Chains A and B, each alone.
Chain A
């Protein structure tokens, strides 16, 4: 690898970290934009519009934010009642999250050969998810009265380089189109909260003594020595003068993954598709720290026995408090183990099950069920329409729902002057609905707020594309039209030309 590229990648990674990262961010609108080569990240069986697609040097950048519970609707009802208690009541007991992240495609090249597409890409993926239990925010609503649970609290962070080789086969006369991508992953950094049980019991039958049980397992790994890289400046100052330098400094963690996709042309206009993405893992072996805590702390308050009133009671009290905290620190230290054993993390696998309906050569509708396998199973649904206007514009809109997020409207626009293909894709361009809030007492006047949005993402970039594939070759309904002329060469698809 070019050493300058490595540094370039590192800088980009840090830059993306600065705007936060994302964990298992969903892109629903992009899935409906086969005109973009990037759509194959979500469906390896997607057939693009051009024979050659190249992104260099301008990358395809994606940034996004999603969460499970935070939106305006959670706090404000349509009558203007602002209720933090209701928001807290609506939280899951242990599993709420805030996810932010980004990925940046540094390079891709996709070329057509006969009825096949071959692709190669490199991108850096950064996902961050903060998982919080209900009581974390409930402290502002309910406080700590009957007990307190932070079980489930954790951070998951994944940053890795992805190198992929893809293949898509569009077999003439076949109902099937299928594709696959093999990816080698190079882990840069990872934080994995493997388990998290933090339970505080309050003895309501006595004087509210605390009994805190903490069991946590957290794994941390990095591709560079954390002792040498403690800030962004440290990373930017890394210079590689030789391969050995890079080898000594970068100890990236290796993993593998595959994406699989297939499309079944059921009729001349109706097709079904399935895509399974991110089926893989990363083995983290560099600069690993495994933290394991199993601690029980009891707090009965300050204990002052046989008080001597001739002494300084304030001083006694403060001494006791200091002693308690010292004993807690000692107990916590004795209950915490640190090891350096490698571990494996699985990628957040997702599955699209889709039905496509080609209304016309320029308009296609898709309905999909989305399933994500990460920390349980999450379901979503999306309906999208893609419409091309001439050769210069392509519009896509999607209406999607995921994990109690409410309905969201996405929009994708592709503009293609000559060989360039500019695009903007957002999943929440019109986030379900807005409220316009005015409240004299809080000096709010006509403030527009997205009512149900819990997610926001945007992908922008530019591809160079060459060799437009004729609609007659690419679209089965047009191919079938030849069948209508008596030449049964194409049952569902012609050869790509």
Chain B
């Protein structure tokens, strides 16, 4: 029995014997995780502003348009219309003084006469004024005589009224009187077939028998000077106004030129002209030019300046007539290319003449607030092409090490992108991993082929450049351990994004249109497997 017990114990001890292991070999473990990152969408209609000045609106076919409004020039008209100082005289001769016997013993003479203004600013053709309202100027009336009797003269200008009261000036013997014309209203229509530019006046002279002269002449002088008007009415004929011109800042968002491989192919400027004068103008553009950030001035050439632009006249003093005129690819040779240089300023000049289509039935008028205002509305539709347009950025302070000690590495990372692209362009992306020391040495790039770089393919586009259907695809961006080991010491990543619109490679490049309906939907998932050496964890 003892032998059995001893045998049993020995067996147990043998089972429990000790085996030496002098070196442990640790198998790596590769835990992984698959994780949905999320869904993101960008819609073109959410773009409401670009930079500080370019606004966004929806144009024809829902094409997105950037637009920018600026006042090209503001030109008051009243100061541009002047009437030169006017002078005229009259004389009443007396061949014999016949004093009427009686208490007064005097001679009375009355006369009605008129004067026609003939030199309104430019002599030919003479604007035919029918009504003036003064806001400045003076009328001077003087009297002289060559006889020794006392004389008193009353001069009336019946159509020059102030508050309804005609101007009346009384002169005694030799003297002159100045009367300010402010607030006087002058009806220049005459009674004798002259319906404009006519100044009528009455002279009533009384000579008293206080001298010895037997004959004489009474002379009267009229001077109207420094005349300013708050209202002028009449027929301005083809009165030429001074040159309209102005230099203005465009206020575009960037001073960087758009590179040659990107173009907006359908920009336009609409000139919107507000005219508060009762005169239709014919505007002849003399020059439109732009100046880039380097100060280089370029003329916009084409047929846009071949025709006279008609600016409608206001129908009444309190109204404004608006006219417009477009400058675009249709009437220029180089407008699109010049705009691509993102000019900093533009220059406009032009001449305007009155009544290019003849005199309107209601005539013309100018008030002291009449002006011509020209606004330039720059419209930049998202229509054009980009041929491998590159956006480059460098992301610094990148640390791809999962832990400082290097205990955990990456076995594989798969970034899955599910893309629905409704934009008419494809996007290619490349990432260059730069060394952390001097950021000059490229450790590796994310992709090796162009096809791999093409993350978003373009939507399908019709002949007009509009998107007809989205592109839908799944892209897996895979990084294996070998690549990770090469790039994990990177300190910065140079990101290069290429944009290529559909048909941009054709000759000539086709334009596409970006509309408010365009969108990009991006679903992102991540699957990663770590590489852990348990021995390093111990």
B221 within 8 A of A: no
Contact A300 B39 (CB under 8 A): yes
Contact B21 A435 (CB under 8 A): yes
A436 within 8 A of B: yes
List of B residues within 8 angstroms of A210 by Cβ: 36
Q: Mark A435-447, 1 if CB is under 8 A from B, else 0.
A: 1111111101000
A302 within 8 A of B: yes
Contact of A448 among B18, B33, B535 (CB under 8 A): B18
A397 within 8 A of B: yes
Contact B16 A433 (CB under 8 A): yes
Contact A84 B12 (CB under 8 A): no
With both beta carbons as reference points, the residue of chain B lying nearest to A449 in the complex is identified as B21
Contact A306 B33 (CB under 8 A): no
B538 within 8 A of A: yes
Contact A430 B49 (CB under 8 A): no
List of A residues within 8 angstroms of B9 by Cβ: 397
* Min CB gap B304→A, angstroms: 36
Q: Mark A390-415, 1 if CB is under 8 A from B, else 0.
A: 00000001010000000101000000
Binds B, one of A11-19, A52-60, A140-148: A140-148
Known: A300-B36, A448-B18. A441 touches B535 (CB 8 A): yes
**Complex CA distance for A123 and B4, rounded to whole angstroms:** 37
Contact B16 A207 (CB under 8 A): no
List of A residues within 8 angstroms of B416 by Cβ: 207-208
Q: Mark A264-306, 1 if CB is under 8 A from B, else 0.
A: 0000000000000000000000000000000000011111111
**Complex CA distance for A451 and B538, rounded to whole angstroms:** 20
Binds B, one of A75-83, A167-175, A251-259, A367-375: A75-83
A139 within 8 A of B: yes
Contact A399 B12 (CB under 8 A): yes
* Min CB gap A288→B, angstroms: 39
Contact B8 A82 (CB under 8 A): no
A360 within 8 A of B: yes
**Complex CA distance for A80 and B22, rounded to whole angstroms:** 8
List of B residues within 8 angstroms of A140 by Cβ: 29, 31
List of A residues within 8 angstroms of B39 by Cβ: 300-305
Listed from nearest, the 10 A-B pairs whose CB atoms lie closest are A207-B525, A301-B38, A302-B38, A143-B31, A301-B36, A208-B34, A143-B32, A439-B24, A208-B525, A83-B27
Q: Mark A348-369, 1 if CB is under 8 A from B, else 0.
A: 0000000000011001000000
* Interface contacts beyond A301-B523, A306-B42: sample of 7 additional A-B pairs, CB < 8 Å, sorted by A: A82-B535, A300-B36, A301-B525, A363-B5, A387-B5, A430-B12, A439-B22
Contact A385 B5 (CB under 8 A): yes
With both beta carbons as reference points, the residue of chain A lying nearest to B39 in the complex is identified as A303
In this complex, how many residues of chain B approach chain A with their Cβ under 8 Å: the count is 51
Contact A442 B16 (CB under 8 A): no
User: What is the interface residue range for chain A against chain B?
Assistant: 35 or more
B35 within 8 A of A: yes
Contact of B16 among A308, A359, A409 (CB under 8 A): A409
Known: A208-B35, A301-B525, A307-B41. A436 touches B19 (CB 8 A): yes
* Min CB gap A317→B, angstroms: 8
A432 within 8 A of B: yes
**Complex CA distance for A299 and B416, rounded to whole angstroms:** 16
Contact of A206 among B4, B17, B418 (CB under 8 A): B418
**Complex CA distance for A78 and B17, rounded to whole angstroms:** 13
* Min CB gap B262→A, angstroms: 20
With both beta carbons as reference points, the residue of chain B lying nearest to A440 in the complex is identified as B23
List of A residues within 8 angstroms of B103 by Cβ: none
A431 within 8 A of B: yes
List of B residues within 8 angstroms of A436 by Cβ: 18-21
**Complex CA distance for A173 and B197, rounded to whole angstroms:** 162
Contact of B22 among A139, A309, A434, A438 (CB under 8 A): A438
Classify the interface of chain B: helix, strand, loop or mixed. Answer: strand
- 10 A-B residue pairs with CB within 8 Å: A80-B23, A82-B27, A83-B26, A143-B31, A145-B529, A210-B36, A301-B36, A301-B39, A399-B8, A407-B15
**Complex CA distance for A432 and B12, rounded to whole angstroms:** 8
With both beta carbons as reference points, the residue of chain B lying nearest to A448 in the complex is identified as B18
B13 within 8 A of A: yes
Contact B18 A208 (CB under 8 A): no
**Complex CA distance for A86 and B24, rounded to whole angstroms:** 15
**Residues B515-538 near A (CB distance < 8 A):** 523-527, 529-530, 534-535, 538
* Min CB gap A374→B, angstroms: 28
B1 within 8 A of A: yes
List of A residues within 8 angstroms of B21 by Cβ: 76, 78-80, 435-439
A85 within 8 A of B: yes
Contact A143 B13 (CB under 8 A): no
Known: A359-B4, A399-B12, A409-B12. A437 touches B24 (CB 8 A): yes
List of B residues within 8 angstroms of A146 by Cβ: 34
B43 within 8 A of A: yes
* Min CB gap A409→B, angstroms: 5
Contact B37 A432 (CB under 8 A): no
A111 within 8 A of B: no
Contact B524 A81 (CB under 8 A): no
The CB with the most chain A CB atoms within 10 A, among B21, B22, B23, is that of B21
Contact B1 A85 (CB under 8 A): no
A310 within 8 A of B: yes
Contact A435 B19 (CB under 8 A): yes
Known: A208-B35, A301-B37. A433 touches B525 (CB 8 A): no
List of A residues within 8 angstroms of B4 by Cβ: 359, 363, 385
The CB with the most chain B CB atoms within 10 A, among A78, A143, A430, A435, is that of A143
**Complex CA distance for A81 and B278, rounded to whole angstroms:** 102
A239 within 8 A of B: no
* Min CB gap B185→A, angstroms: 57
* Min CB gap A205→B, angstroms: 9
With both beta carbons as reference points, the residue of chain A lying nearest to B527 in the complex is identified as A208
B46 within 8 A of A: yes
List of B residues within 8 angstroms of A431 by Cβ: 16
**Complex CA distance for A161 and B15, rounded to whole angstroms:** 39
* Min CB gap A23→B, angstroms: 27
Known: A144-B34, A385-B8, A442-B535. A208 touches B13 (CB 8 A): no
List of B residues within 8 angstroms of A318 by Cβ: none
**Complex CA distance for A305 and B520, rounded to whole angstroms:** 10
Q: Mark B47-58, 1 if CB is under 8 A from A, else 0.
A: 011000000000
**Complex CA distance for A310 and B49, rounded to whole angstroms:** 9
**Complex CA distance for A82 and B16, rounded to whole angstroms:** 21
**Complex CA distance for A80 and B40, rounded to whole angstroms:** 50
B104 within 8 A of A: no
Contact A82 B534 (CB under 8 A): yes
Contact A82 B24 (CB under 8 A): yes
B25 within 8 A of A: yes
A95 within 8 A of B: no
* Min CB gap A200→B, angstroms: 10
List of B residues within 8 angstroms of A139 by Cβ: 31
**Residues B481-536 near A (CB distance < 8 A):** 523-527, 529-530, 534-535
**Complex CA distance for A409 and B17, rounded to whole angstroms:** 12
Known: A310-B49, A434-B18, A436-B18. A144 touches B33 (CB 8 A): yes
* Min CB gap B51→A, angstroms: 11
**Complex CA distance for A142 and B538, rounded to whole angstroms:** 20
List of A residues within 8 angstroms of B22 by Cβ: 80, 438-439
A235 within 8 A of B: no
Contact B26 A307 (CB under 8 A): no
Contact B25 A204 (CB under 8 A): no
Contact A435 B18 (CB under 8 A): yes
Contact B36 A209 (CB under 8 A): yes
List of B residues within 8 angstroms of A433 by Cβ: 15-19
**Complex CA distance for A306 and B519, rounded to whole angstroms:** 8
List of A residues within 8 angstroms of B36 by Cβ: 207-210, 299-301
**Residues B241-293 near A (CB distance < 8 A):** none
Known: A307-B42, A385-B8. A84 touches B18 (CB 8 A): no
With both beta carbons as reference points, the residue of chain A lying nearest to B44 in the complex is identified as A306
Contact of A306 among B27, B38, B41, B526 (CB under 8 A): B41
**Complex CA distance for A202 and B41, rounded to whole angstroms:** 23
**Complex CA distance for A430 and B15, rounded to whole angstroms:** 9
